[in-house]
Amino acid sequence: MSPRRCPAFLAFALAAVFLCMTPPAANAVGPTIVVDVGTGKVLDHKDAFQKWYPASLTKLMTAYVVFRQVRAGKISMQSKVTISPKAAKAPPSKMYFKAGSQLTLDDALKIILVKSANDVSVAIAESIAGSNSQFIAMMNAEARRLGMSDTTFVNANGLPGKGQSTTARDMAVLGVALHREFPHHRNYFALEAIRSGKKTYTNYNILIGRFAGANGMKTGFICSSGFNQVSSATRNGRTVVSVVLGAKDQEERANESARMLHRGFTASQIGKSSLAGLQPYGKNRKRIVDLRSSICSKEARKARYGGRDVEGRMVLNSAYIKPLKRPAKTVNVRLTGTVALTKSGKKFPVPKPRPDFAGSATASFAASSLKPALDVPAPDVPVPRQRPSL
């Protein structure tokens, strides 16, 4: 029988053509959400309560704790951050600063938010709270206070750790809080690049400078999470925050983040639920998703570079992301000096001066060598007090 006279054959052929012509679903990544910062309205979401590994999105909470401590007057942006032996041993991504190196908190924040340096994140935690465990307690106390009900932090950098998890909804809560509470610190999330010595590091968030109005916030990646991103943009005085979790590569992460931000600027807010009022959903949402087998297989690693140009540069096929036709705007970060440390990471104690040599200059030097008590939390953060160390 001729194919022309067979309705079943024609139906099958037309279906095959349609399937071949149908583009893949725009929302093919993991959980997503986009929120209006001013109104708190949720403008779009998918699997927003599904548990996920945060990866370096964790550093948003590290920054939030820092900002809270600065506002409370416990520290300043010029406070010293010391790289301890433990911090120096942190796995990459890192700056490879030697133990004893010191830098300002201001530069340390720029480094963790652009380069996502794990060694500097550990150093921030230790320098502010006296220990990683103390800082982690502060992070989780802040998460509870903000209502991040499905988030648990086990470190300050987002490296793989048992029990560490979040959701797209909770990361949106944190992103909105950062914009609402600390608008004067937005510049930390919008840096295009930093320069340390002779090396320049470009922000992994490639929307900055390429998506109209983009002004933050943070990317993250470990094999188990896939490629994550919290993004924000401001247009005509209105700011939206989007969260994308579990993209297969940097290109998909950027494209989907741009699409979600665009959705946020164009979607109607009429009848939309508030972020606080969005109710948990999802049958298996409490079971954390692990993408290691699909993201870090040999085939997946090879595929991530398959769509790049001959020089290995990303090719972004997005209607919303424009090429950066100028050099990235770069700010300098630097070490301020070094101090001698014991094997435990503490500063060598300054010998007490003998009575007959106790001049005012010597006494002043000894007093200035003491580490300030940075472990006192803000009044509404219930963190145990810790004795200051040398």
Is 364 within the bounds of a domain? no
139 prior amide bond cis, ω within 30: no
Is 108 within the bounds of a domain? yes
pLDDT higher than threshold 60 for residue 221: yes
Residue range 270-326, pLDDT digits in tens: 999 999 999 999 999 999 999 999 999 989 988 887 666 545 577 777 889 999 889
- CATH number for the domain harbouring residue 118: 3.40.710.10
Is 145 within the bounds of a domain? yes
CB 35 within 8 A of CB 42: yes
Is 352 within the bounds of a domain? no
Is 204 within the bounds of a domain? yes
What DSSP state is assigned to residue 333?
Answer: E
Which residues span the domain enclosing 313? 28-339
CB 286 within 8 A of CB 49: no
Q: Which residues pair with 219 in a beta bridge?
A: 229
Residue range 24-75, pLDDT digits in tens: 344 468 999 999 999 999 999 999 999 999 999 999 999 999 999 999 999 9
Q: Which residues pair with 331 in a beta bridge?
A: 194
Tokens of 219: 């990317």
Tokens of 118: 């794990």
Cα–Cα distance measured from residue 310 to residue 314, given in angstroms and rounded to the nearest whole number:
10
Cα–Cα distance measured from residue 252 to residue 291, given in angstroms and rounded to the nearest whole number:
15
Is 355 within the bounds of a domain? no
Q: Which amino acid is at 189?
A: F
**What pLDDT, on a 0 to 100 scale, did the predictor assign at position 309?**
56
Neighbours of 145 (CB within 10 A): 14
Structural domains in the chain (count): 1
Is 376 within the bounds of a domain? no
Cα–Cα distance measured from residue 360 to residue 371, given in angstroms and rounded to the nearest whole number:
19
Residues identified as active-site: 56, 59, 116
Cα–Cα distance measured from residue 316 to residue 251, given in angstroms and rounded to the nearest whole number:
6
Is 21 within the bounds of a domain? no
